[in-house]
């Protein structure tokens, strides 16, 4: 696939918007990567957009993982256990996703976005148990959540943090902050697995992925700065962002509907 210089510039802009949203809201922003690539950048193939965004999501998660690891927010045993079966799930999910019609995939993706918006409206003030660990007792639960989340993430080409975080909390009882840090291991693993599976079919535009990541890094720094400035309005910002996701999802449903009728 050959894109114009203007499209690559729009790719960098799209990456910065995703990075900005991740910095501002701490999660959910990566789900905007696919619609931005399809409708703003103009990537002609939904599958190409999904494969390329999967790599970009993985790269952004890896960058954030370094910071959380330094702060001690990663429970490595739980993260690796969750990711292990999740990688297998991501291989299966991404293989199925490649076989689904592109417009149908975008339609399902829009439904997913509405679900994510609903999760963002929920209160996530749970404290959790800071001493929680992954043991033989809860291992089946952690492995089960990991496999299911990986398959879901692979199918849609997303990081799936909005599923990984509650999955880790539900299966281990760990605090939200630790779950967010640990989830980045899984998000990186799922994204890379999905991207490599799509790349085998020639469905990753590597130059676009790189400019998207570069834009995301710049946007993430700006987002983190603005988040500190607006820290007292975080709840209102989350509600506004969830509303934005719904609007984008409705637009995707409209465009997908047009494609089905054409």
Q: What is the pLDDT of residues 99-133, one digit of tens each?
A: 988 888 888 888 888 887 776 666 555 556 677 78
In the predicted model, is pLDDT for residue 205 greater than 90? Answer: yes
Cβ atoms of residues 135 and 127 within 8 Å = no
Spatial separation of the C-alpha atoms in residues 83 and 128, rounded to whole Å: 21
Spatial separation of the C-alpha atoms in residues 155 and 151, rounded to whole Å: 6
At residue 51 the predicted structure's pLDDT band, cuts being 50, 70 and 90, is very high
At residue 42 the predicted structure's pLDDT band, cuts being 50, 70 and 90, is very high
pTM of the model: 0.79
Q: pLDDT above 70 covers what percent of the chain?
A: 84
In the predicted model, is pLDDT for residue 199 greater than 90? Answer: yes
Spatial separation of the C-alpha atoms in residues 165 and 184, rounded to whole Å: 9
Query: Mean of the pLDDT values across residues 143-155?
Result: 89
State the Cα angle at 189 between 37 and 35, rounded to 5°. Answer: 15
At residue 234 the predicted structure's pLDDT band, cuts being 50, 70 and 90, is low
Cβ atoms of residues 114 and 253 within 8 Å = no
């Amino acid at each position: 696939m050959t894109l114009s210089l203007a499209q690559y510039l729009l790719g960098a802009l799209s990456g910065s918007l995703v990075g900005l949203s991740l910095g501002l809201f701490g999660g959910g922003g990566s789900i905007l990567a696919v619609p931005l690539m399809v409708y703003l950048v103009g990537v002609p193939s939904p599958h190409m957009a999904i494969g390329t965004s999967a790599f970009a999501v993985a790269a952004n998660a890896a960058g954030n993982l370094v910071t959380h690891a330094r702060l001690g927010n990663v429970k490595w045993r739980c993260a690796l256990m969750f990711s292990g079966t999740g990688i297998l799930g991501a291989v299966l999910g991404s293989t199925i996703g490649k076989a689904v019609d592109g417009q149908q995939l975008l339609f399902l993706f829009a439904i997913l976005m509405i679900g994510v918006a609903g999760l963002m409206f929920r209160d996530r003030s749970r404290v959790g148990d800071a001493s929680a660990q992954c043991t033989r007792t809860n291992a089946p639960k952690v492995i089960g959540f990991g496999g299911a989340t990986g398959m879901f993430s692979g199918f849609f080409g997303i990081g799936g943090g909005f599923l990984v975080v509650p999955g880790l909390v539900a299966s281990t009882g760990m605090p939200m902050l630790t779950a967010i840090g640990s989830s980045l291991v899984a998000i990186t693993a799922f994204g890379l697995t999905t991207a490599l599976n799509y790349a085998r079919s020639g469905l990753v535009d590597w130059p676009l992925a790189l400019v998207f990541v570069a834009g995301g890094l710049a946007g993430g720094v700006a987002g983190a700065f603005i988040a500190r400035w607006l820290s007292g309005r975080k709840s209102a910002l989350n509600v506004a962002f969830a509303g934005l996701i719904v609007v984008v999802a409705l637009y995707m449903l409209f465009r997908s509907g047009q494609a089905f009728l054409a």
